[in-house]
Structure 1
């Protein structure tokens, strides 16, 4: 991975930052992208470069990759990690909130992947794209309809992009986290009853860590997964395989 340029979105904290750390340790020059100003400090700690971008804004996304290519160089690794969840009762969720989640979690992934892939193809870069999906691509929580729909879309977009880009030796895969100990899970961590429910459907009986997700991302970005494309690897402590508890 030495000297490869890796762009990671949603990288100011949590899973995105852990992905940047893992890729930097593997020798990549890391470019961290986030909507938060703190991305600059996070990037500096890793010897990388930070950029601010709203991944739900197509104009900003296009400008972002133009700037990265001009100032750092073309990416050979893209990690589409930026994402949000907006909770609401299904009957009460607004169209605006639903669209906002889809714009960032799905449309942003499409736009970033397409933009990076165009440069990879033009320059003959045998690159790797890793998308952040979720177990909610396959199981559903009714209070986060937009999130579940977006992650199901990411799973299918991963397959579509993998097929389209395989002739150019560009691999596209996804990672689907389960219950991971990040800010998104903070409310569960603070509620013993909610944590007990979450662990009752997690065979390994503990939340995962951001680094455990990041290590799978780093694997999919590396030559160790050179014959893997179009796949989603679930990092969920066995949750999707669980039928019932007794």
Structure 2
């Protein structure tokens, strides 16, 4: 059975991926800063308390996972967002938190996993994309979007560093998924306005995560991508929005 590490696996997409990976026979290790024991017990996974911004804790996470067997996949999923404010109005503590979690955490996870995977002779590091990864911009998501754009660069660059080795770096793109990360900090009236677009483009965790889990276990070439919400799917959804009734909030 493949050993898979899912960071930020205590809730949302991370929890959903862990559940689907286990259902497909993987041995899964999840981590988080809180709620780890409860999530691990519910999943039947191994849980490790880990702050991904602390390299020593990330090393300990690897050691815990490697004790179960060779780590086939390491999924850098852990991340946070900020209040929906202009960058100039965003508290510095929030800015530092989102950059540390979404970028430094991914770099720490990638560095630790790659070094050990090269030593063991195999493995894939998957980095989770999000809004901003493709270059799109939106007011009040400047910090979050910038970190996700940077994660795409990190993954592409890492894939070049790994060229010719038995280890791969790849992108994991879930699209727009209805979690608290997506709906975080919307004022009630603002959320009502955005529900229309969410009902066209977004999906529930249980819809997306089976696809992601299967893509992880199947694998891709170095520098490749497993993407749920493709350009073709987006075009189809907009073209048929008037004929399809979707209410993800009911």
Q: CA offsets per residue over residues 65-120 of structure 1, 9 Å max, x none?
A: 23433x43442111111000112322122443222211111111111112111111
Counterparts of residues 158-173 of structure 1 (less than 5 Å): 158-173=155-170
How many residues were matched structurally?
Answer: 235
2:245 is matched with which residue?
Answer: none
The two structures have a TM-score, normalised by structure 2, of 0.81
3-state SS of the aligned residue for 1:76? strand
SS in 1 for 2:137: coil
Q: Secondary structure at the match of 1:167?
A: coil
What is the TM-score when the length of structure 1 is the normalising length?
A: 0.82
Relative to structure 1, is the Cα distance of residues 94 and 192 closer, same or farther in structure 2, using a 3 angstrom cutoff?
A: closer
State the alpha-carbon separation in 1 of the partners of residues 189 and 86 from structure 2: 23
Gaps of 5+ in 2: 242-250
- Aligned equivalent of 1:219, options 214, 219, 222: 214
CA RMSD of aligned residues (A): 2.9
Alignment correspondent of 1:82:
78
Instruction: Give deviations 1:163-184, integer Å, cap 9, x for gaps.
Output: 2223223232223344321122
- For the 8 Å contact 1:8–1:31, the answer to whether it is kept is yes
Q: Secondary structure at the match of 1:91?
A: helix
Structure 2 counterpart of 1:231: 225
Query: Aligned pair 1:136/2:135, yes or no?
Result: no
8 Å CA contact 1:109, 1:131 repeated in 2? yes
Cα 1:136–1:195 change in 2 (3 A) is farther
Structure 1: any 5+ residue segments left out of the alignment? none
Deviations 1:148-199 (A, max 9, x none): 1110011111111222223223232223344321122345898475244353
